[in-house]
Amino acid sequence: MRLHLVQLDIRWEDAEANCRRVAELLDAAHPDPGDLVILPEMFDTGFSFNTAATVDQGRTLAFLMLQATSRQVYMHGHRTASASGNSTEAAARNRATAISPDGTILAEYDKIHLFSIGGESQRLSSGTHTTTYQIADAGATFNVFPAICYDLRFPELFRGPRIGTLDLIAIGACWPAKRAAHFRALSIARAIENQSFMAFCNRTGNDPAPTNTTYSGGSLVIDPLGNVLAEADEREQVLSVSIDLTAARNWREQFPAWRDAKH
C-alpha cells in the first residue's frame, strides 16, 4: 500500500480553507483505493487553544468521512473535539480520528501527553488511554498505532500490552522548526524500538502573533530497521511512499528483541 502524508501549510483557525486545501493536495496526489492518508495535528485550525473557534462541531469529521468514502482510502485526521460531550469535563481534547474507506470510524485517540510548555495542558484535557486500528492490505490485516506530536517524546506510550504487535505508528504533528532534529531522531528511535514502520506527518508554514511559531515540515516514513524511506523538505506537499507492512512482522519474527523487554 501507499502512505500519503499531507504536509499542510495550515491557515490559522480557518477550517474551511484548510479542508479545501487538503482536498486539492489529494486530488494532485492521486491516492489509490486502500491507501492510507495521514494529516498533521489540528490540520483544520492550527495549534490554537481558542476552543470557541476550534472545537469541531461535525464539519471536520464530515470532511474526513467524505474524503475516505469518495476516494476509498483510509483517512487518519485530527481535530479539536468536545470532551465526550460531558459538560462536567474541563476542556476539549486534541483528537486523532481514523476512518475506513466505507466511512466507519475505526478509532479515536485523544492526545495523552499535552504540551504544558506551550499552554496546551491548561486549555485542553488529556486523553486517558491508547488504542490501535486495523487496515487491510494484500489480504492481510495490520495494526496501526495513532499518537500525536509531543507523545513522541515518551517511549513508554508505545510499549505496554501491545509490544510486539504494532505494524505502523502514525503520528500527526505541529512540531516547530527549532526542534526539528528532535522529531527526526525520536521517530527513528521509536521505529527501531518497536520494530514497526513509522509515519510522522508534520505541518509547515507559520503561526500568527503572538506565537509566531515557524514549522519546517520534514515529514518522514521510516522502516522497522530505522531506515528513512522518504522525507519531505519544508515545502507544502504530499509525501507518498509505498510500504510492505508484512516487513514489520517478518523482522519481529527474525529478531524478536521485544520478547526480552521487562515489564
Catalytic residue (choose from 41, 108, 120, 201)? 41
Torsions phi, psi for 196 (to 5 deg):
-135, 155
- Residue indicated by cell numbers 530505522: 226
To the query of whether residue 174 is one of the catalytic residues in this protein, the response is no
Of 108, 111, 120, 174, the catalytic one is: 111
Longest dimension (CA), the chain: 51
Helix (H, G, I), strand (E, B), or coil: what is residue 238?
A: strand
Is residue 89 annotated as part of the catalytic site, yes or no?
no
Residues 6+ apart with CB under 8 A from 146: 76, 96, 98, 107, 109, 131, 132, 133, 170, 171
User: Which residues does residue 201 pair with via DSSP β-bridges, in sequence order?
Assistant: 172
The single residue listed with the C-alpha cell 485550525 is: 45
3-class DSSP state for residue 235? coil
Catalytic residue among 19, 108, 149, 174: 149
C-alpha span between 199 and 132 (Å, rounded): 15
Active-site annotation holds for 149:
yes
Q: State the catalytic residues.
A: 41, 111, 149
